[in-house]
């Protein structure tokens, strides 16, 4: 005897599809297109990623930079940028010395805590090329890593545009109208579009450098830093040795004061000037059409100039010893720039009136001992910062494309790489920088830049905080000067100051980040997320374990009962509608799909099988777990699944099986009209999840099937047998106007004389029906009341409603009201206590669990004649049900318990039991035979 499509409980060994191991793909160094660690082949260890600790020759591996050249110089140079020569005076002149020092303390406090997080992550193993993007993506996972990586790409683009804008401002203030190095009318034309043209020319020059000599630029960073440092110290000496002068500081041509005032004052070292500069004197920004300056705008400009702490981490692909160089180099660069800024702010406050600093952001040049020092410092600092950001943004875009974060959308970047240089990525970055340059004002671009970089720092602190809180054993950073407190302070400080700088920009960036997170979660490939690992999985494990321990089964209450289901299936190919249906029936409860493989443990490999089952769950889009066990018999394997599935108080309370009948299985993966059609589980001629073909022998006999039913009830689990679910079409039910009902038949057809429509089994059926009603809201529940009067004459039906019938209907209505169940009650007259149905009750008990308690007479022995009479009875019952099921989507029918295992002639009785059930459910709509063993409804509040 064979089994129907969705109803076999005996699983068969499935074919396996191999999956590639986890491979960390990283991208090239921030600077240059040279060889880096991300381009080297790696050998996975134990199939679980790899850790590489630099045991090979650094020269041969492409790691050639030390702490000073590889970390200190890039970080210090990036943190100086345009701020040091162009905007410190703007900040001090408006905010005053006290507020300026406070802002530097806040900014560097945030940076210090973020650096601690960066150092902790970067010293927790091998850091490949890619720096901050690599750390965030491989720690937070695909969704957050990809979204933050995208915003970090935009941050570098905006940073490049900001530096170009500062460079243009320096050029115009030097060589434009009223410039320091011009005389007469021989000057560069000025204006918004002329400045945009100059910025575009600088951007184009950077494009050529990126395409030709990016690697050379990386090697000259130390020389560039030396030049900037010399220019900065020249500025310090100038403040100390240049005294009060008159008519030396001109008013810029774009300042409205230029029409009335020619020169601004400079006092040199003066106590009065210092006192005047201690407090705030917020004015208007002449470079942004007179926009009012306040604390947030000055802090936004200040923070934008010190956002280069990631430059060292971005060089991780070229560092000989990243775990040592990144902490030491970054912290020393942060300390060096902090001291430099504090000294510069104090000297400005002592020498320059706030009115002068507010109205000429380039006043350092006229007061310098040798003015070209300032010009050289501005041009080298801004051009180098802009170029490094442009190179960095192109490398991040290249990494996003290699990681397939957005699928095939960025494939053109991969195809547009030539000799390791991502030409297409550079071109895209260049175009975006051009768009940002249209904003024009350095100070406005600086606020956007600050918010974007702050969001990146927030993500870095979040990554370190999350991995610290999970207590992952593999998180053992060599950098010890951090705790979860420092991560939390850095995270909160960054978040607060984002909104202080600009509420609109901060809100927009966070919303954009969340949109990217959701999009990547929905559309990104699951294999990529599995390769990277996600901190969300570690956090969920930590929390779930804690709450599972708190979930005490001794505190369970019936009013909070929900179905926790173990569905036993054979091949998923043949049971797709049933798997989909049970997903709706679980009512947010536990859902486990169980599968038994016949065999032993010799040479067994379950890893690939498990992958196939998870792929099946993804294909079905069901919220379930899978449990696959190996056993010599189906019955023994099912016992394992029932007893061991779940954990703690999360254990199945309801077991669902398919029905054992003679119908041929259907392959829903191959059926052309099936909504579950797919080719994902076909590997050439090898078919995963093979099913029994028509005519093939079944894996187990009917006696073993009934034994499984008995075992389920003995373990105090609710039992459901599902038949005809290959006919279930959820889409048709949802749109059909003909299908209207979910039917409940609360009569024990095997014992109609003592059937109680309000017993535990009947209430369990009603509960399940109400659960499905919540999914199919347009349907109604019908409960068939199958009681009749003792006064009724055999073969006739009175027109009067007897007293007992009224009592039963009223009792049912009252019970439904107390249970808050809305249902239609339909009376069935055919079951009467003095009809042929009643006479079969004693005979039918022989095939159920009551067989041991029935004293059989000679003519009641289980023989062919007895079975035939019972089959005729079941056929008549089936006809009664079928006549009322024309508009039925789903039927719940009372399942009498099978004969006990100790019953004499168990094999014969079990076969007869199944034959009767087969006759009862023939040609019905999707039907569930239900036997409940526990109370599932409550009338209490």
Is residue 7 within 8 A of residue 662, CB to CB? The reply is no
Q: Which domain holds residue 763?
A: 724-790+802-852+861-940
pLDDT bucket at 4, cuts 50 / 70 / 90? very low
Asked whether 381 and 226 are in contact (CB, 8 A), the reply is no
* Judgement on whether residues 284 and 404 belong to the same structural domain of the protein: yes
- Give the contacts of 697 (CB within 8 A, at least 6 positions apart): 2
Of the candidates 889, 857, 883, the residue with the CA atom closest to the CA atom of residue 775: 889
Mean pLDDT value of segment 613-636: 91
Does 711 share its domain with 737? Answer: no
Phi/psi for 679 (5° steps) reads -110, 10
The token duo for 905 is: 């002639």
Strand partners, 285: 291
Q: What is the mean pLDDT of residues 97-120?
A: 91
Rounded Cα distance, 72 and 309, in Å = 10
486 shares its domain with 416: yes
Q: Which two tokens stand for residue 256?
A: 């409205």
The Cα–Cα gap between 462 and 484 comes to: 10
pLDDT for res 2: 37
**pLDDT at residue 187 in the model:** 60
Residue 536 in any domain: the answer is no
**What mean pLDDT do residues 687-715 have?**
86
Q: Is residue 35 part of a domain?
A: no
CA 723 and chain centroid, separation: 37
Average pLDDT over residues 242-267: 68
C-alpha span between 667 and 674 (Å, rounded): 9
Once rounded to an integer, what is the mean pLDDT over residues 445-466?
84
Tokens 């009252």 appear where?
814
User: pLDDT tens-digit profile of 511-526?
Assistant: 888 888 787 777 765 5
Whether residue 94 is found in the same domain as residue 132: yes
Domain annotation covers residue 558: no
Q: Assign 372 a pLDDT band (cuts: 50, 70, 90).
A: confident
Would you say residue 160 has pLDDT above 80?
A: yes
Q: Which of 721, 737, 757 is the last residue of a domain?
A: 721
Confidence (pLDDT) at 127 = 60
For residues 899 and 830, membership in a common domain is answered with: yes
Q: Among the listed ranges 108-112, 185-189, 492-496, 647-651, which one has the minimum average pLDDT value?
A: 185-189
Helix (H) or strand (E) run with residue 567 in it: strand 565-568
Residue 622 sits in the same domain as residue 687 = yes
Average pLDDT of the chain, as a whole number: 79
**pLDDT surpasses 90 at 306:** no
Say if residue 596's pLDDT is above 60.
yes
Q: Could you report the per-residue pLDDT of 15-47, keeping only the tens digit for each?
A: 333 333 332 233 333 333 333 333 333 433 333
Residue 248 CB contacts under 8 Å (≥ 6 apart), including other chains = 263, 266, 366, 367
Least trusted range by pLDDT, from 46-55, 250-259, 290-299, 860-869: 46-55
Q: Is the pLDDT of residue 213 over 80?
A: no
pLDDT of residue 35: 36
In this prediction, residue 39 carries a pLDDT of 39
Residue 797 lies in a domain: no
The confidence score (pLDDT) of residue 509 equals: 85
Among 688, 721, 754, residue at a domain's last position:
721
Helices (H), 533-575: 535-550
Residue 502 inside a domain? The answer is: yes
Q: Which range, of 55-64, 116-125, 186-195, 463-472, averages the lowest pLDDT?
A: 55-64
Same domain, 820 and 714: no
Q: Verify that 600 and 704 share a domain, yes or no.
A: yes
Q: What is the mean pLDDT of residues 741-761?
A: 79
- The C-alpha atoms of residue 61 and residue 66 are separated, in whole angstroms, by 14
Are 255 and 282 found together in one domain?
yes
For position 481, which CATH number holds?
A: 1.20.1740.10
CA distance 583 to 577: 10
Question: Of all residues in the chain, what percent carry a pLDDT higher than 90?
Answer: 22
Over residues 474-509, the pLDDT tens digits come to 778 878 888 888 899 999 988 998 888 888 888 988
For residue 74, pLDDT beyond 90: no
Q: Quick one: tokens of 41?
A: 């082949």
Rounded CA gap, 466 and 462, in Å?
6
CA dist 716 and 231 (Å) reads: 84
The answer to the question of residue 24 being in a domain is no
Residues 709 and 838 occupy one common structural domain: no
Q: Which of 676, 699, 721 is the last residue of a domain?
A: 721
CA 372 to CA 754: how far, in whole Å?
107
- Is 542 contained in some domain? no
As a whole number of angstroms, the distance between CA 506 and CA 498 comes to: 6
Task: Let me know whether 618 and 735 are in one domain.
Answer: no
Please report which helix (H) or strand (E) contains residue 913, including its range: helix 906-920
Distance CA 131, CA 128 (A): 7
Number of domains making up the chain: 3
258: Cα separation from own chain's centroid: 56
Query: Regarding predicted confidence, which is higher, 315 or 331?
Result: 331
- The whole-angstrom distance between residue 849's C-alpha and the CA centroid of its chain comes to 50
Is residue 325 within 8 Å of residue 319, measured between CB atoms?
yes
Of 24, 18, 19, 21, which is closest to residue 37 (Cα–Cα)?
A: 24
| pLDDT tier for residue 278 given thresholds of 50, 70 and 90 | very high
Q: Do residues 737 and 715 both lie within one domain?
A: no
Asked whether 399 and 149 are in contact (CB, 8 A), the reply is: yes
3-state secondary structure 575-598: CHHHHHHHHHHCCCCCEEEEEEEE
Q: Cα(21)–Cα(24) distance, rounded to whole angstroms?
A: 10
CATH number for 665? 3.40.50
pLDDT tens readout for residues 829-884 = 776 554 566 666 667 777 887 665 554 444 445 567 778 888 888 888 899 999 99
% of residues, the chain, pLDDT over 70: 78
| 152 inside domain | yes
């Amino acid at each position: 005897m064979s089994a129907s499509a969705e109803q076999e409980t005996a699983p068969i060994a499935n074919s396996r599809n191999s999956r590639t191991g986890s491979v960390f793909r990283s991208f090239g160094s921030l600077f240059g297109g040279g060889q880096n660690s991300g381009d080297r082949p790696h050998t996975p260890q134990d199939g679980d990623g790899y850790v590489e600790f630099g045991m090979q020759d650094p020269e041969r591996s492409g790691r050639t930079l030390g702490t000073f050249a590889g970390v200190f110089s890039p970080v210090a140079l990036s943190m100086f940028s345009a701020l040091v020569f162009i905007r410190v005076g703007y900040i001090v002149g408006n905010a005053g010395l006290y507020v300026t020092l406070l802002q530097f303390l806040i900014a560097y406090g945030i940076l210090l805590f973020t650096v601690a997080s960066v150092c902790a992550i970067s010293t927790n193993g091998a850091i490949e090329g890619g720096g901050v993007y690599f750390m965030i993506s491989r720690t937070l996972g695909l969704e957050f890593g990809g979204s933050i990586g995208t915003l970090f790409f935009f941050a570098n683009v905006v940073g490049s545009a900001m530096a170009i804008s500062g460079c243009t401002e320096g050029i115009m203030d030097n060589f434009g109208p009223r410039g320091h190095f011009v005389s007469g009318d021989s000057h560069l034309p000025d204006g918004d579009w002329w400045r945009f043209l100059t910025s575009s020319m600088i951007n184009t020059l950077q494009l050529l450098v990126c395409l030709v000599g990016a690697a050379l630029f990386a090697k000259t960073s130390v020389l560039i830093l030396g030049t900037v440092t010399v220019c900065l110290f020249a500025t310090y000496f100038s403040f100390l040795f240049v005294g009060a002068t008159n008519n030396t500081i001109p008013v810029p041509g774009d300042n409205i004061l230029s029409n009335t005032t020619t020169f601004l004052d400079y006092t040199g070292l003066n106590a009065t000037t210092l006192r005047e500069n201690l407090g705030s004197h917020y004015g208007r920004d002449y470079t942004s059409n007179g926009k009012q300056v306040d604390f947030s705008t000055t802090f936004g400009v200040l923070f934008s100039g010190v956002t280069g702490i990631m430059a060292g981490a971005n060089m991780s692909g070229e560092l000989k010893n990243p775990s040592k160089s990144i902490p030491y180099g970054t912290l020393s660069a942060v300390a060096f720039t902090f001291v430099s800024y504090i000294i510069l702010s104090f000297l400005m406050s002592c020498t320059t009136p706030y009115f002068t600093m507010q109205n000429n952001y380039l006043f350092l040049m006229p007061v310098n001992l040798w003015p070209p020092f300032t010009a050289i410092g501005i041009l080298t600092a801004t051009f180098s910062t802009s170029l490094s950001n442009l190179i960095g943004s192109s490398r991040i875009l290249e990494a996003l494309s290699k990681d397939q974060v957005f699928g095939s959308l960025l494939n053109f970047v991969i195809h547009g790489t030539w000799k390791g240089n991502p030409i297409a990525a550079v071109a895209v970055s260049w175009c975006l920088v051009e768009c940002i340059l249209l904003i024009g004002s350095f100070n406005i671009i600086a606020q956007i830049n600050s918010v974007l970089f702050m969001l990146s720092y927030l993500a870095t602190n979040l990554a370190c905080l999350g991995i610290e809180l999970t207590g992952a054993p593999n998180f053992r950073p060599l950098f010890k000067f951090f705790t979860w407190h420092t991560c939390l302070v850095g995270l909160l400080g960054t978040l607060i100051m984002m909104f202080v700088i600009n509420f609109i920009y901060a809100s927009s960036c966070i919303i954009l980040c969340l949109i990217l997170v959701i999009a990547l979660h929905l559309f990104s490939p699951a294999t990529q997320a599995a390769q990277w690992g996600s901190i969300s999985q570690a956090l969920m494990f930590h929390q779930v374990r804690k709450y599972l321990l708190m979930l005490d089964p001794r505190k369970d209450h019936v009013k909070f009962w929900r179905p926790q289901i173990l569905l036993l299936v054979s091949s998923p190919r043949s049971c797709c509608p049933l798997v989909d249906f049970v997903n709706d029936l679980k009512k947010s409860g536990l859902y486990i799909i169980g599968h038994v493989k016949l065999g032993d443990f010799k040479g067994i490999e379950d890893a690939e099988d498990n992958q196939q089952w998870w792929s099946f769950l993804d294909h079905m889009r069901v919220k379930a777990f899978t449990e696959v066990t190996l056993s010599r018999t189906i019955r023994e394997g099912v016992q394992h699944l029932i007893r061991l599935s779940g954990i703690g108080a999360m254990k199945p309370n309801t077991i669902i099986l398919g029905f054992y009948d003679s119908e041929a299985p259907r392959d829903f993966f191959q059926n052309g009209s099936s909504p579950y059609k797919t080719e994902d589980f076909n590997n050439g001629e090898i078919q995963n999840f093979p099913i029994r073909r028509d005519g093939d022998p079944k894996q187990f006999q009917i006696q073993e099937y009934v034994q499984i039913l008995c075992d389920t009830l003995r373990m105090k689990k609710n039992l459901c047998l599902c038949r005809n679910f290959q006919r279930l079409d959820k889409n048709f039910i949802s749109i059909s106007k003909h299908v209207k009902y979910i039917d409940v038949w609360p009569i024990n057809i095997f014992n109609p004389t003592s059937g109680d429509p309000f017993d535990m089994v009947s209430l369990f059926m009603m509960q399940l029906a109400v659960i499905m009603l919540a999914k199919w809201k347009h349907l109604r529940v019908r409960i068939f009341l199958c009681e009749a009067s003792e006064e009724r004459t055999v073969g006739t039906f009175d027109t009067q409603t007897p007293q007992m019938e009224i009592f039963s209907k009223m009792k049912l209505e009252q019970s439904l009201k107390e249970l808050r169940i809305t249902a239609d009650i339909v009376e069935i007259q055919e079951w009467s206590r003095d009809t042929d149905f009643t006479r079969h009750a004693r005979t039918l008990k022989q095939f159920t669990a009551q067989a041991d308690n029935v004293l059989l007479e000679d003519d009641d022995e289980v023989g062919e004649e007895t079975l035939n009479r019972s089959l005729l009875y079941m056929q008549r019952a089936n006809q009664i049900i079928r006549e009322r099921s024309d508009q039925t989507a789903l039927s719940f029918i009372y399942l009498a318990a099978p004969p006990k295992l100790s019953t004499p002639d168990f094999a014969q009785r079990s076969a007869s039991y199944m034959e009767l059930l087969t006759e009862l459910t023939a040609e019905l709509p999707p039907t569930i035979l239900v036997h409940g063993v526990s109370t599932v409804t409550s009338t209490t509040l």
